[in-house]
Amino acid sequence: DLENWNTQLVDEVGEMLNEKLISRDEADALLLRAEFRWTDENARLDQPTQ
């Protein structure tokens, strides 16, 4: 489920950021990429099958 995947990713990125495993810029980039992927996946799900 995309909603659960997105929530889990945000949580994991937050944990990595808190543990200083990644920088704020890296966290922002990961979340932005995830947002684009999530939007793309949702758009495909909304397309009627032919």
Render pLDDT for 1-50 as a digit per residue (tens, 0 to 9): 777 877 888 899 999 999 999 999 999 999 999 888 888 877 887 776 65
Look at residue 40 in the predicted model and tell me its pLDDT.
Answer: 84
Query: Is 36 domain-assigned?
Result: yes
- 27 Cβ partners below 8 Å, 6+ apart? 13, 14, 16, 17
Instruction: Measure the CA–CA gap between 25 and 16, rounded to whole angstroms.
Output: 12
Q: For the chain, how many structural domains are there in total?
A: 1
Instruction: Measure the CA–CA gap between 4 and 19, rounded to whole angstroms.
Output: 23
Query: Is 48 domain-assigned?
Result: no
Instruction: Measure the CA–CA gap between 23 and 17, rounded to whole angstroms.
Output: 6
Range of the domain at 28: 2-43
Query: Is 30 domain-assigned?
Result: yes
Look at residue 6 in the predicted model and tell me its pLDDT.
Answer: 77
Determine if the pTM surpasses 0.75. no
Look at residue 20 in the predicted model and tell me its pLDDT.
Answer: 94
Query: Is 49 domain-assigned?
Result: no
